[in-house]
Amino acid sequence: MSCDVFIAGGAMTRFCRRRDGSNPRDWVREVVLMAMKDARIDRAEVDALVIASETDFLTLQLVAGPLLADELGLVPRPVMRVESGGASGGQAVRAGLMHIRSGLHQTVLVVGFEHAASHLSGDDVRLLYGLSFDADLEGFNGITATALYALSIQDHMARYGTTSQQMAAVSVKNHANAKLNPNAHKPLKLTIDDVLASENVSFPYRLLDCSLISDGAAAVVLTANRSLLRADMPAVRVAASSCASDHVRLGDRAVPGDFNSKRVASADAYNQARIARPRDEIAFAELYDAYSGAELQGIEGLQLCARGEAGPATAAGEFASDGALPINLSGGLIGQGGPPGATGIAQIMTLTHLLQGRYHKGLQPATKRRFGLADSHAGVGTLSVVHVLERVDDL
């Protein structure tokens, strides 16, 4: 690492289905103003802009980077756009980090957005998401994201004994956390039976096992300039950033039910952050729960427990808001919502505020641990981006 990079501030809009006539440029302007207010900086201190959005087909706006730089009053700053499916926001943070560590810039604004819920019909969005895999062999032949995730978790169930009840416990947990998050798309009080009784989508997944297609935006300010850091709270630095890939088609993987890209990326990230025992050292984790079973697969891939143990540990409450390692206090994609371009950035904002002790009331556990883990992916765990944040109490 050539220099320490800190999270100077961040913000997110509410994740929801927008029916007020607004559009991404409105949400981006709103969230950037909030993020700069949180960081207590102004436009003059921003050196570069990184934009994240999953696909031009959702927004129907090509070359969004310079348009948004113009909307934000950041012309003639350099701007780049990042696209990595559900990992787009995480990759944008990683790109901003590279901007700074390369020595090109000191302070980078990272913004992600998606117009996923209200711009196109649900059927059109599902069709587009199907093209996130092997478009020729899968997407254009009618395969859906849900069907592929279902096949992956079926393999996991057969190998390790994971149950529908254990997956339902993820949904119950994340929807409950969302009830205390004012930015959440779907806060609900559920029981295991409620989840199991919801509409069947693709076995074993039922409607309440699935994440939400949401509109929204999120932004964070990355900086190596310590003079920009707020003096009234602990600093949070990016202790690690890593990325790894896997075979696109499930049939080409040795174990279709394991998220090996997360195992590779997290091992590298823990090494960077000098974390030897992640489950004992990480205070909070925000995981990419595209489906309830994907959270269990992610927990294991990120080495927060052994293969096959995430289901029982979740059912026992170990990852609940009052558990040893709270996962998805925000509600995750299942409860908070999932605009792909914004999700990975919102995770960084959430973890920063949690580590600084200023997250939403009722979702702020006390902890002496100083690390936060952010995880996002594209495909069925095909491309994983992992970040570790660290609270620094004394600069």
**Looking at the domain assignment, is residue 14 inside a domain?**
yes
Average pLDDT, integer, range 256-271: 98
Residue 363 has what pLDDT? Answer: 87
DSSP 213: P
Residue 61 has what pLDDT? Answer: 87
Number of structural domains, the chain?
A: 1
pLDDT by residue (tens digit) across 118-133?
988 888 888 888 888 9
If we measure between CA atoms, which residue out of 175, 218, 222 comes closest to residue 376? 218
Share of the chain above pLDDT 70, in %: 99
Residue 79 sits in a domain whose CATH number is 3.40.47.10
Residue 2 has what pLDDT? Answer: 63
**Looking at the domain assignment, is residue 156 inside a domain?**
no
Cis peptide before 182 (omega within 30 of 0): no
CA distance 207 to 118: 19
CA distance 168 to 314: 10
Average pLDDT, integer, range 179-204: 97
DSSP H helix total and E strand total for the chain: 14, 11
**Looking at the domain assignment, is residue 13 inside a domain?**
yes
CA distance 171 to 155: 20
Alpha carbon separation from 14 to 82, 352, 354, 389 (Å, rounded): 22, 18, 18, 23
Average pLDDT, integer, range 72-90: 97
pLDDT greater than 80 at residue 1: no
Q: Name the one residue in this structure whose structure tokens are 């960084």.
A: 348
**Looking at the domain assignment, is residue 257 inside a domain?**
no
Q: What is the sign, positive or negative, of the torsion defined by CA atoms of 307, 311, 316, 317? A: positive
The number of angstroms, rounded, from the C-alpha of 113 to the middle of its chain's C-alpha atoms is 12
Residue 364 has what pLDDT? Answer: 87
Average pLDDT, integer, range 369-385: 97
**Looking at the domain assignment, is residue 94 inside a domain?**
yes
CA distance 209 to 195: 7
Residue 150 has what pLDDT? Answer: 98
CA distance 325 to 155: 26
Q: Name the one residue in this structure whose structure tokens are 């096949």.
A: 151
Average pLDDT, integer, range 289-300: 98
pLDDT by residue (tens digit) across 309-350?
999 999 999 999 999 999 999 999 999 999 999 999 999 999
Share of the chain above pLDDT 90, in %: 89
**Looking at the domain assignment, is residue 69 inside a domain?**
yes
Residue 120 has what pLDDT? Answer: 84
Q: Name the one residue in this structure whose structure tokens are 């919502």.
A: 337
Average pLDDT, integer, range 370-395: 96
CA distance 285 to 319: 9
The tokens describing 4, both together, are: 């320490």
User: DSSP 3-state assignment of 177?
Assistant: helix
If we measure between CA atoms, which residue out of 279, 348, 345 comes closest to residue 318? 279
Q: In what order do the strands lie in the sheet with 282-286?
A: 79-82, 48-52, 107-115, 215-223, 6-12, 235-245, 383-392, 371-378, 282-286
Angle (CA) 90-384-17 rounded to 5° is 50
The tokens describing 5, both together, are: 């990079």
- 269, 386 in Cβ contact below 8 A? yes
Average pLDDT, integer, range 148-171: 98
Q: Which residue range is the domain that position 84 belongs to?
A: 6-120+214-228
Per the document, the length of the chain is 395
**Looking at the domain assignment, is residue 200 inside a domain?**
no
- Count other C-beta atoms under 10 Å from residue 124's C-beta: 12
- 115, 102 in Cβ contact below 8 A? no
- Count other C-beta atoms under 10 Å from residue 37's C-beta: 12
Q: Name the one residue in this structure whose structure tokens are 């920063």.
A: 352
**Looking at the domain assignment, is residue 17 inside a domain?**
yes
Cβ-count burial 364-378 (b if 16+ within 10 Å, e if not): bbebeebbbbbbbbb
Alpha-helix runs per DSSP H in the chain: 24-39, 56-59, 64-71, 88-101, 122-130, 145-160, 164-178, 192-197, 260-273, 278-281, 292-301, 310-315, 332-335, 340-355
Compute the chain's Rg from CA coordinates: 19
